[in-house]
């Protein structure tokens, strides 16, 4: 196929990777400085509202397993299409606004707007603050620590000891480092705003529908799709966390295999090995079992490791998109007559 470089250069979509690369830096800066936008117009909050309404309106538990599975899959697909369409429209709006700007400022405007649109799909600062507050609450009492932990985990915290509260908080840090930071960046780099939005929807659907109970069968589709979309990012998260520590986490694949989740064990296992502590969920799994339970300063050490890894993830996304934006025009130029 012959490519006309003049037409490519004149296209308003020429070099979108460069604007998205700048968007990664913009979103990272917004997250670090300002944190989350108001809940009233937060897209992930909106996804949760949509899933809750759809789930509440369907009597999943009254249906046969096959019917609930099929209906759950259809409901997931329709909601996912809506979220992806809205993200695609937002992406087109960014490039449309950029087309109105003189060429010298287009990259900056599009990069800024992509960053503003991407930011709500990323949540490192929120995760850091919520996890840090667990240790601060534990300094008051174990019960206060349990209450704070309930904000970020789904497990029963009522009988956890202080060390088990810390274990759960560090596990949450590892797993959500992937879910709320690395994976959205990964899918943004691959598929732009629609990719990042689809991932966050999938992850939110898994949280809303992917547990046993009324959604035992209806939520299986949501849980399995989230596993697939998180597969590569979870392993990238583990590598980044390992690179952010002084020593490499040896035996990681063995520890990661101990968890029921095909993905969560990778970042959680990396933190367990990097911190030299035991992490576990009672009666389900134990990671790095021969090490001691985490102490008061281990949670803060974990946050420092994850903070460095978060910056590395943003830098990796920026470089990947920047290189993609530079290589594609060169390839197109070689293909032209």
pLDDT per residue as tens digits for the range 40-59: 999 999 999 999 898 876 66
pLDDT of residue 211: 66
Nearest of 77, 83, 181 to residue 126 by alpha carbon: 181
Q: What is the pTM of this model?
A: 0.90
292 φ, ψ (degrees, to nearest 5): -75, 165
Helix (H) or strand (E) holding 283: none
DSSP 73-139: HHHHHHHHHHHHHHHHHHHHHHHHHHHTS-HHHHHHHHHHHHHHHHGGG--HHHHHHHHHHHHHHHT
Mean pLDDT of the region 197-220: 84
- Least confidently predicted of 29-33, 109-113, 212-216, 292-296: 212-216
- Tell me if 337 sits within 8 A of 2, measured CB to CB: yes
pLDDT of residue 139: 94
List 118's β-bridge partners, or say none. Answer: none
- Across 58-78, b (16+ Cβ under 10 Å) vs e yields bebeebeeeebbebbbebbee
Estimate to the nearest angstrom the gap between the alpha carbon of 115 and the chain centroid.
Answer: 16
- Across 134-166, b (16+ Cβ under 10 Å) vs e yields bbebbeeebebbbebbeebbeeebeebebbbbb
3-class SS of residue 62: helix
CA distances from 213 to 79, 142, 219, 319 (A): 21, 29, 10, 43
Q: Which domain holds residue 305?
A: 5-335
Per the structure, the count of domains in the chain is: 1
pLDDT per residue as tens digits for the range 113-158: 999 999 999 999 999 999 999 999 999 999 999 999 999 998 888 8
């Amino acid at each position: 196929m012959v490519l006309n470089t003049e037409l490519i250069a004149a296209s308003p979509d020429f070099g979108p990777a460069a604007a998205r690369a700048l968007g990664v830096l913009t979103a990272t800066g917004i997250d670090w400085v300002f944190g989350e936008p108001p809940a009233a117009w937060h897209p992930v909050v909106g996804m949760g509202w949509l899933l809750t309404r759809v789930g509440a309106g369907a009597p999943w538990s009254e249906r046969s397993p096959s019917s609930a599975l099929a209906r759950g899959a259809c409901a997931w697909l329709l909601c996912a299409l809506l979220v992806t369409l809205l993200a695609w429209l937002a992406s087109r709006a960014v490039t449309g606004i950029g087309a109105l700007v003189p060429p010298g400022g287009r990259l900056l405007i599009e990069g800024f707007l992509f960053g503003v649109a991407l930011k709500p799909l990323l949540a490192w600062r929120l995760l850091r603050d919520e996890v840090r507050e667990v240790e601060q609450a534990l300094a008051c009492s174990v019960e206060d620590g349990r209450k704070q932990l309930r904000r970020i985990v789904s497990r029963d915290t009522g009988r956890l000891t202080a060390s088990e509260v810390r274990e759960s908080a560090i596990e949450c840090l590892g797993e959500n480092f992937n879910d709320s930071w690395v994976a959205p960046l990964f899918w943004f780099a691959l598929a732009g705003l629609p990719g990042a939005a689809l991932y966050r929807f999938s992850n939110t659907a898994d949280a809303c529908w992917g547990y046993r109970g009324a959604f035992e069968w209806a939520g299986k589709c949501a849980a399995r799709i989230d596993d697939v979309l998180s597969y590569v990012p979870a392993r990238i998260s583990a590598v980044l966390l390992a690179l952010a520590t002084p020593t490499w986490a040896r035996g990681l694949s063995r520890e990661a295999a101990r968890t029921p989740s095909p993905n969560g064990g990778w970042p959680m296992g990396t933190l367990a090995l990097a911190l030299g502590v035991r992490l576990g969920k009672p009666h389900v799994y134990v990671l790095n079992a021969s090490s001691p339970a985490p102490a008061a300063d281990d949670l803060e050490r974990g946050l420092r490791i994850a903070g460095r890894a978060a910056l590395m993830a943003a830098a990796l996304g920026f470089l990947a998109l920047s290189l993609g934006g530079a290589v594609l025009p060169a390839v197109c130029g070689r293909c032209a007559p």
